[in-house]
Structure 1
Amino acid sequence: MPGSPARGAAMGGGPRGLRKTWTELLAGRVKKQKYDPEREQKLKDSALKLLRYHQNMHDLLLEVEEPQCKRLRLSELIDRDSADASSDRSASFIRSAFRDQASRLGVPVGVLSAKVFARSVQQVCVEPSHPVLLSPEQSKKLSSLLMIARHLLAQNMFSRLTFCQELWKAQNSLLLEAMWRLHTHSVVSLQELLQSHPDSEAMAMWLFRNLRSLCEQIGASCPSPDTTEAMLSGLVQLLISRGFQGSSDPRRLVEPERLPQVATDVLQRMLAFSLDTLEADPQTTLDCQAVSGWIPIYSGHTCCGVVTENSLKSFFSHTLTQILTHKPVLKVSDAIQMQKEWSFAKTHHLLTDLHCRVLATLGPEESVGRLQEVLEMQEVNWQHVLSCVSTLVVCFPEAQQLVKGWVASLMARAFESYHLDSMVTAFLIVRQATLEGPYVFPSYADWFKVLRCAPRPYMDPTYMSVFCVWLQPVFLSAQCC
């Protein structure tokens, strides 16, 4: 009969009719597509791109596994096996697990292992008890991870570039010691880590902040001085060698320009920070501890055998220039009035230490030449210039005669060319040297008498008279000092 329930059920009509499943409804519409290798490759490339940009690798790995499967995630496998990471059986098991997972995801095993290990290193650094150093527990965990990573590297199952890129995604949570351990255990070098950062300015700021924290620990005599000093020395060697490498260095031809810029930027920031801190004359602040931890790096012994001699000379010459030209706000009149406070004995001991280290590496002759060049070409910080002169004549006796020769050349230029700047510079330098006592340099009055009495056939008498009248107030102020 037309209205019978049986017929309605068979047709699937009406609210009480039996409905077909989605599989049954779509069964007739699905067409079998022909195999297209190009399309398959595009799908794989898209999947790999999606995988690389996925922020949480652990969640992604968990999603692709069957819910009913009790297989461990790779990070848990690493943590569980870390106690016995050095055994061949453990390493073989982990390599097998990575291969299986990479095959299932359709990604290179090196990319997969690098992402998982980057996430594991970030987890080790979570909630640090120290700004730059690992706790004993963190150090133990990281050591196990590094051992496994080296096993994978030996089997060509670990992508260094991918690992570095993944690490920088959470750079604010990374500890400097963790980066250092990656370098010393030959997982990735410091140079690889720095080159892989996508933002040069962010990289420089991150490294600057971490170097300051590291130097604070060294200045405060931290409980692990060997580790901190080795970290600082290694980082400084890298920065100097990359920031001041010569044009003849073969690495210059293949190395990106970004890394040398970052290296010089970080070194300049650390020196500027040190000079600003010493200008404020701190006594017990953390900044003062950081400066006292940083200044010892200005030593030829720090980079001996690692940095080329040309790079080292270039770095120290650049350092001396930066010291002399740092914030040139004082005028000559200010220098005349305040010069007495810039003697060797009254200068902050850390600034004197900085001067001594830089001048000792350059040598007195090159140091005086650099002083002369900077004063002729640039605006200078007179406090730094004159305190540097005091350090030269006090700590390097052979420099006393060099300074006298420099002053004589300045006066000759002043007399011959009527060059007032040369005359002012000469008198400021002489006055500064005489502040250190007669055993270091002749007294100012004696030197001035000799100057006035010296025959100058090439000097105009009128000019000499004007010169003496102008200099009289300066001479009197010097006698009052």
Structure 2
Amino acid sequence: MSDSRVPNSSGQGPGGRRRSWAELLAGRVKRQKYSPERAQKLKESAVRLLRSRQDLSALLLEVEGLQCKKLCLSNLIDCGSSEAHANQSNSFIGSALQDQASRLGVPVGILSATMVASGVGQICAAPVDPSHPVLLTVEQRKKLSSLLEVAQYLLAHNMFSRLSFCQELWKIQNSLLLEAVWHLHVQSIVSLQELLESHPDMRGVGAWLFRNLCCLCEQIEASCQHADVARAMLSDFVQMFVLRGFQKNSDLRRTVEPEKVPQVAVDVLQRMLIFALDALAAGVQEESSTHKTLRGWFDVFSGHTLGSIISTDSPKRFFSHTLTQILTHSPVLKASDAVQMQREWSFARTHPLLTALYRRLFVMLSPEELVGHLQEVLETQEVNWQRVLSFVSALVVCFPEAQQLLKDWVARLMVQAFESCQLDNMVTAFLVVRQAALEGPSAFQSYADWFKASFGSARGYHGCSKKALVFLFKFLSDLVPFESPRYLQVHILHPPLVPSRYRSLLTDYISLAKTRLADLKVSIENMGLYEDLSSAGDITEPHSQALQDVEKAIMVFEHTGKIPVTVMEASIFRRPYYMSHFLPALLTPRVLPKVPDSRVAFIESLKRADKIPPSLYSTYCQACTTAEAKPEDASLGVRADPSCAEEPLGQLTAALEELRASMTNPSQHDVISAQVAVISERLRAALGHTDDDDSVELAKIQLSIDTPRLEPREHMAVDLLLTSFCQNLMTASSVAPPERTQQNSGSTVEDGLSSRKTIALANRLALSWARGAWISHWRDVWD
């Protein structure tokens, strides 16, 4: 068939002019008549061609020629050009797209969706700020806003296919910025739910969202200039995830919310939590990028982030699910590990980020719900004991009512354990009680008190049968290789009440526990009255422990007006420690105040109760009288009389007191240094040395450490120096206390025992040093 209008195989018309694709298509329409089926196939082919075309602007230009220049995507999204969309009407754009769609033989909604998706891709493909990889730049944000105005018009006039748009977006997933997706959701082009549902790979979109959310959280904590946008994005994403992922099944309207969306939502939230828990277990460093990410993510558990959905049931289900994941993630530790290591999991030693997360969970869940949930998890799943016990510590610290709830739960566990010899319940009860007791008497009763109350009477859990007794001592014996010495001492000093016919069970356990203590080189007699079981396991020296016991006993006496029960029991059942350590620490000679203080009243109460031997009390009174009569004697810690300031020892005493006064202002280093020089000179004068004594050997005293021989003046100089050492340490500790462990939010600190321990250690050193053995060392230091 010869027709000059039919192009040759190269697509050229008469005269060699290359004909456009539109002319070719028009020619074929004139020559051929298609059946409806063939027309439908042709339309589908055109749609496939349109979707596979990489450069949509070039295709539109090819269809419309130069007249389509105003509709080029680069102009529609370039809000800074002279041909910006602001100079064109949306109606003109819509009619032009309809005309193009009719010429191409494709639905206008598909053409519009493809055009807008291509525009979003071009915007996201532009260079971004590497420090904000999920956020748009200011210029990108303006261009996207211009493009979305066009999309909103097309959507309002039924010229936009949401499904096609979502499918086109996921084709450019690797370059798609999270903020662009958020703007599509906020401006109601397509919701986040629609986007997630249209993704062909559920796990793939979950991984993509996880990576982007990690970057977003880090940028929030980095205080970038777009932090407000980042927080709004995170809040909207989390609200959608929580609302759709943790609705009741009956609440899900399957025609609108298919099952894929809840699965993706739960998957993303779980990925974020597991990432956080793994990072905490590995020991995340403060101010690292991971640390910033975790801080940003844990903020989503606040009411500010959950905002509009806080009134629904979804947040509570989300928090309960999160708590379960925390308690059960990576259950690698056994109960025996927990027995040995649980002192390291107290509230003060738990990572501040984890304690902050616990507190966020506590806001949504009541103490009763928390304890019930903990009980349910322990009964049904393998748990991470470190997380479980740190959670118990946080619970008793944050909720005063948690103490009674835990006591009731532990009581139920103990009853069940002895009724059917359930070892799991027994282990859980002991671990929970010990962990709660680590937080101090204000949070929970001491372990010793609980052990005495549970097993120290005929009404104890073990008193029902021989089987229960055997079960108890078998359990305690199995714990011996893993026990801290303090718990062994509690068991020995406050043993379970056992009928005489079963006495052998107790004696066998006591022998085993004492053997273990002997292996650890710990004396049972030296255990203090008020033990700090939260310590790392170091055994405090008896004298130092006695000083702490005296301080706490006086404190209890001040509040109750009665001799503490612990002191009364020690005077009877622990007489060696009471007589050898507690009373000497209590009856330290001093200048008695004109108005009797708590210490005087406490000593008098013990004397009236016949708990102080008359001879020891008489010696104490005599020493106090001597201290009042000889105030220049610095060995008793008495302030020197100014009248003796001209004497060498008096001058040394005055210089040492001036040094202690200078320590109240640590910034005056030059004053302190100058005062040390003064002390050095006065020490030489007090020891009877002159400037002519050039030889160091002449300045030293030849001593035998076993049998020191010192002159009275030398004795007094040594006492002055050691007493000043202790007093200066106490002054420095009061001005600048030793470093304490702090929490992130809530500002909870340890109870200050560390500074008292430091002072007690200094006193112990001062009293244990031989009075003359260190005089040479002091001379070397001061000279």
How high is the TM-score relative to the length of structure 1?
Answer: 0.88
Aligned residues between the structures:
458
Q: Which moved more, 1:396-405 or 1:453-462?
A: 453-462
Q: How far off is 1:77 after superposition?
A: 3.8
Tell me what 1:13 maps to. Answer: none
Of 353-362 and 462-471, the range deviating more from structure 2: 462-471
Distance 1:295 1:22, change over 3 A: closer
Of 400, 410, 414, the residue aligned with 1:411 is 414
SS of 1:403 mapped into structure 2: helix
**1:151-209 deviation line (CA, Å, top 9, x unaligned):** 22222222121111111101111111111111111211111111111111111001000
| 1:430 alignment partner, SS class | helix
Secondary structure at 1:345's aligned position in 2? helix
Q: Which of the numbers 226, 229, 245 marks the counterpart of 2:228?
A: 226
> What is the CA–CA distance in structure 2 between the aligned matches of 1:458 and 1:58, rounded to whole Å?
89
2:72 aligned partner: 74
Contact 2:343 2:438 in 1 (8 A): yes
- Greater C-alpha Rg: 2
Q: What does residue 257 of structure 2 align with?
A: 255
Structure 1 residue 48: deviation in Å?
2.0
**Which residue number corresponds to residue 194 of structure 2?**
192
Are positions 1:281 and 2:283 aligned together?
Answer: yes
- Return the offset for 1:435: 0.5
Q: How does 1:82-481 map to 2 (within 5 A)?
A: 89-126=88-125, 127-129=127-129, 130-252=132-254, 254-283=256-285, 284-306=287-309, 309-454=312-457, 455=459, 456=461, 459-468=464-473, 470-471=475-476, 473=480, 474=483, 476=485, 478=487, 481=537
Unaligned runs of 5+ in 2: 10-27, 490-532, 538-783
Structure 2 contact 134–177 (Cα < 8 Å) conserved: yes
The 8 Å contact of residues 109 and 159 in structure 2, kept in 1 or not, is answered as: yes
Alpha-carbon spacing, 1:60–1:399, altered in 2? closer, same or farther (3 Å)? same
Taking a change above 3 Å as real, the CA distance of residues 87 and 418 of structure 1, as seen in their structure-2 partners, is same
Residue type of the partner of 2:265?
A
Do the aligned partners of residues 438 and 117 (structure 1) sit closer, same or farther apart at CA in structure 2, a change above 3 Å counting?
Answer: same
Deviation for aligned residue 1:100: 2.5
SS at match of 1:380: coil
1:382-420 per-residue CA deviation (whole Å, 9 max, x = no partner) reads 010000000000001111110111111110111111101
Distance 2:8 2:319 in 1: 80
What is the CA deviation profile of residues 425-472 of structure 1, one whole-angstrom value per residue up to 9, with x for unaligned ones?
Answer: 000000000110111111111111111124148732243144135325
Query: Relative to 1, partners in 2 of residues 1:232 and 1:345: Cα closer, same or farther, differing over 3 Å?
Result: same
- The secondary structure found in structure 1 opposite 2:119 is helix
Matched residue type, 2:476: L
* Matches of 2:397 and 2:116, distance apart in 1: 56
Please report how far the alpha carbon of residue 59 of structure 1 lies from its aligned counterpart in structure 2 after TM superposition: 4.2
Q: Which amino acid aligns with 1:91?
A: N
**Structure 1 runs not aligned, ≥5 long:** 1-19
Which 10-residue stretch deviates more, 259-268 or 353-362? Answer: 353-362
Are the equivalent residues in 2 in contact too, given 1:240–1:307 (CA < 8 A)? no
CA distance in 2: counterparts of 1:158 and 1:295, whole angstroms: 39
- Per the alignment, do residues 21 and 184 of structure 1 end up closer, same or farther by CA in structure 2, a change over 3 Å counting? closer
Distance 1:165 1:233, change over 3 A: same
> 1:12: which partner in 2?
none
Distance 1:246 1:25, change over 3 A: closer
Answer whether contact 1:57 1:119 (CA < 8 A) is retained: yes
> What is the CA–CA distance in structure 2 between the aligned matches of 1:404 and 1:25, rounded to whole Å?
95
CA shift for structure 1 position 253? 5.8
With 182-191 and 295-304 compared, the bigger mean Cα shift is at: 295-304
Amino acid at match of 1:390: S
Indicate how the Cα distance of structure 1 residues 109 and 451 shifts in structure 2: closer, same or farther if over 3 A, else same: same
Cα shift at 1:113: 1.3
Higher mean C-alpha deviation, range 322-331 or range 248-257: 248-257
**Distance change in 2, residues 1:103/1:286 (3 Å):** same
The 2-side partners of 1:25 and 1:226 are apart by 62
Cα distance per residue 1:222-266 (max 9 Å; x no partner): 222221111111100000111111122152464211111110000
Query: CA-to-partner distance for each residue in 1:11-66, whole Å, 9 max, x for gaps?
Result: xxxxxxxxx9996999xxx9965553332232222222332344443343344455
Cα distance, 1:122–1:22 mapped onto 2, change above 3 Å: closer
Contact 1:299–1:361 at 8 Å: present in 2 too? no
Please tell me the root mean square deviation across aligned C-alpha atoms, in Å: 2.7
1:262-301 residue CA offsets vs partner (Å, 9 max, x unmatched): 1000000000111111112222321111000000111344
- Matched-pair contact (CA < 8 Å) for 2:75–2:85: no
Q: Deviations over 1:292-323 (max 9, x none)?
A: 00001113443243255322221111110000
- Tell me if the contact between 1:81 and 1:90 (Cα under 8 Å) persists in the aligned partners: no
The Cα of 1:344 is off from its aligned counterpart by 0.3
Q: In the alignment, what sits opposite 1:46?
A: 45
Q: Deviation above 6 Å: which 4+ runs of structure 1? A: 20-26, 81-86
Task: Answer with 417-426 or 129-138: which moved more.
Answer: 129-138
- Distance, in Å, in 1 between the alignment partners of 2:76 and 2:7 is 45
* Contact 1:78 1:94 (C-alpha < 8 Å) held by counterparts: no
The residue type equivalent to 2:465 in the other structure is D
* TM-score with structure 2 setting the length: 0.55
Q: Does 1:61 align with 2:66?
A: no
Mapped partners of 1:197, 1:356: distance in 2: 36
More moved, 209-218 vs 447-456: 447-456
Secondary structure at the aligned position of 1:436 is classed as coil
CA contact (8 A) 2:193 2:257 kept: no
User: Equivalents in 2 of 1:24, 1:417: separation in Å?
Assistant: 96
Distance change in 2, residues 1:434/1:441 (3 Å): same
* 8 Å Cα contact 2:213/2:234 also seen in 1: yes
Q: Structure 1 residues 23, 62: closer, same or farther in 2, change over 3 A? A: closer
Give 1:217 deviation, angstroms. 0.7
Identity %: 58
Give 1:123 deviation, angstroms. 0.9
Deviation of 1:351 after TM superposition, in Å, equals 0.2
1:334-375 deviation digits (Å, cap 9, x = unpaired): 111111110000100000011111122111101100100111
Q: Which residue of 2 aligns with 1:9?
A: none
Distance in 1 (CA, whole Å) between partners of 2:292 and 2:417 is: 44
